[in-house]
Chains A and B, each alone.
Chain A
C-alpha cells in the first residue's frame, strides 16, 4: 500500500526545474524508529517560508514524531533512531558539525500542554529564551511587549507581568508559551496540537496569532481539528498508519486537499468518515 502513496506523491510533483538549494525547511525521505519499532516511513515534505502547513492524520500515525525530527527533539528519546535528511536552507541539520541547540533556536516549538516555567513570572518567561541562549538584546521591555502582543496576550497581562505563569488560565498559558518561543525570533515555529486543550475563543486568538506570524516565518501545525486545518493552513499533509509505520498519503494546497483530494482515503478522512 505504501507503493501507492509514493506514487501519489511523486506523481503530483510538478517542479522538476527547481534549483537545488531551497530556502526554508525541507524533509527528505525521513524514517523514524523507536528501538526496533519503525514508526515513520519515507516522508518528504517542504515547508517554504511564510506558509502555514497543517499536519493531519489519525492518532498514532507519527505526526508528533515527525515534527520532533524537524528540530532535533527526537534524539532525546532513548532508543530513537532516524534516516533521511532535514535541510534548513539547503544544509542538513543532522550533519555532525551542526550544533543542535542552534537549530532549536531557529526552529521553535510549542507543545500540546502549556508549559510555562513555574519558577519564573510572566515577563521572565517571555525573556527566558533570550537568557537561556545568551542573546544580546537592547530593549527587554520592547521585546516583552511585542511578543506578548503578537501572541495576543498583551492586553490581558500588561498589568501583572510579575505574576507567575501558573496563575494564568490554560489558554493564556499557551499564548504565553507562544510569546516565549517568539522572543528568540525563530524562522520556523512547530506547533503540536497547540489548541487541543483550549476553548474556542483562545483557539481563535491563537489562529489569528498564527496568521500574523506567518507574515515573517513558517509555521507547522499538527491538529486534529479539520476546520482549524482548513482555516489556518496554506498547505496540508495527511499521514496514515494502517498497522505498519506511518507514512504520508497526500500533501497539497489546503483547498485542493479538502475539496478535491487525489486519494480516496484523504477524502474519507477530511469528511470525517474515519479516524
Chain B
C-alpha cells in the first residue's frame, strides 16, 4: 500500500491567503469594462439609428453585450461559457428593469435640484407665495410634519405589529385564526378608507384636523405590513433555539424576548422599513385627517399640519412654473428622506449579521 505522506518542500514563509473560487480581479475589471462599453455603444445606437426608447435601448444592449460575450467566450470552457450567456440574459433583464426606474429617479433629481437651496430645508411657506422666487420659502414645515406623523405611526404600529407576530408564531393562542384574518383583511383596506375611518372617528370626536389624526390613519395602513412581515421573519427562527432556551428553564415570554426576537432583529428592522415605506408617500388619507399647513406645527394635536405629500399635492394644483418647481423639489426631498431612513435602518439592523 502506498503511504499517505506527501513529499513536499518545507515552506519557510507563510503564503498569502487566496480565494481561488472568486473571479480574478483582472477578469472582473474586463467584465465591467465590457459592460460599460456595451451601455455606451447601445446608447449611441439609440441616439443615431431608428431604434428608440427604453425597449430599443434594452434590445441594442442585449445585442451588443451578447456579441461581446461571444467574442470573449472563445477563450472559455463549456461551463464558463454557459455562465457567460446566462449572465448576458440577466444583465439585459436588469438593464430593462433598471432604466424606467432610473429615468424616474433622474427626472425627479433634474427637475427638483433647482429648488434644492438651503432655504428650502429651513424655511416654511408662511410668508411666501408659491409663485415667489425659489430662493424664498421652503418645505421645512412639511418635512417636520411628515417625520412627526410617521414617527408616531411607527411608534404605535411597531410594538403592535411585533406583538401580533409573536402572538401568531410564539404564543399560538386560540385567537390565532382571528388575528391573522384581521391583519390580512386590513392589508386590503384602500388608503382613502383608512383616512375616512379616522375622519369619522378621531377628527369628528376632537373636532379638528391634526397630526395625531394623520398619524392614526397612517398607522392603520402600516400595521398589516409590519405585522405580516414580522410574522414571516419570526417563522424562520428554528425551533431548536426555542427548545434550547426552554431547556435552560426560561419561560415563554423570556424566550421570546431574549432569544427569538434578538435573533431576527434585522428582519424586524426590515418589517419597520417596509411599513414606513408603505405610508410615507401616502397623500389621500392625510387630506382627510391632517390637511395641510404653511407654517411650522410641532404639536400633533395643534390643528392642521403640513406634510411632504400634501405639500407636493397642493403646489401641483396651483400649477404655475415656480410652484411646480417647488413640488418637484418636495418630491426629491421625500425621496432623500426615504433613502436616509432606509440606510440608517439597514445599518442598525444589519449589525448583527457578520
Tell me the complex Cα distance, A51–B5, Å. 13
Tell me the complex Cα distance, A6–B17, Å. 20
B32 within 8 A of A: no
- CB-defined contacts of A99 to chain B, threshold 8 Å: 79
B352 → chain A closest CB, angstroms:
14
B14 within 8 A of A: yes
A196 within 8 A of B: no
- CB-defined contacts of B5 to chain A, threshold 8 Å: 9, 12-15, 44-46, 251-252
Which residues of chain A in 215-260 are interfacial with respect to chain B, using CB atoms and an 8 Å cutoff?
234-235, 237, 251-253
Interface centre among A27, A28, A83 (most CB of B within 10 A): A83
Which of the candidate stretches B19-27, B144-152, B198-206, B306-314 sits at the interface with the other chain?
A: B19-27
- Given A10-B8, A13-B5, A48-B4: A83 and B24 interface contact (C-beta under 8 Å): no
A162 within 8 A of B: no
Q: B4 and A41: CB pair below 8 A?
A: no
B3 within 8 A of A: yes
Q: What 0/1 pattern do residues 261 to 280 of B give for CB contact below 8 A with A? A: 00000000000000000000
B4 → chain A closest CB, angstroms:
4
B188 within 8 A of A: no
Chain A: residues with Cβ within 8 Å of the partner, total of 46
A94 within 8 A of B: yes
B53 within 8 A of A: no
Tell me the complex Cα distance, A80–B17, Å. 9
Q: B14 and A27: CB pair below 8 A?
A: no
Interface centre among A38, A41, A46 (most CB of B within 10 A): A46
Tell me the complex Cα distance, A45–B21, Å. 22
Of chain A, the residue at the smallest CB distance from B16 is A83
B354 within 8 A of A: yes
B6 within 8 A of A: yes
Q: A83 and B3: CB pair below 8 A?
A: no
Which residues of chain A in 1-52 are interfacial with respect to chain B, using CB atoms and an 8 Å cutoff?
6, 9-10, 12-16, 18, 22, 26-29, 31, 33, 38, 41-42, 44-48, 51
- CB-defined contacts of B4 to chain A, threshold 8 Å: 45-48, 51, 53, 235, 237, 251-252
A72 within 8 A of B: yes
Q: B18 and A82: CB pair below 8 A?
A: yes
Top 9 A-B pairs, shortest CB-CB distance: A81-B17, A83-B15, A75-B21, A44-B6, A94-B20, A235-B4, A33-B17, A44-B8, A46-B4
A-B contact pairs, 23 of them (CB 8 A): A10-B10, A14-B3, A14-B5, A15-B3, A15-B5, A29-B8, A33-B17, A45-B4, A45-B5, A45-B6, A46-B3, A46-B4, A47-B4, A48-B2, A75-B21, A80-B19, A81-B18, A82-B19, A83-B16, A94-B20, A235-B3, A251-B4, A252-B4
**A positions within 8 Å CB-CB of B:** 6, 9-10, 12-16, 18, 22, 26-29, 31, 33, 38, 41-42, 44-48, 51, 53, 72, 75, 78, 80-84, 94-97, 99-100, 234-235, 237, 251-253
**B positions within 8 Å CB-CB of A:** 1-8, 10-11, 14-21, 24, 77, 79-80, 354
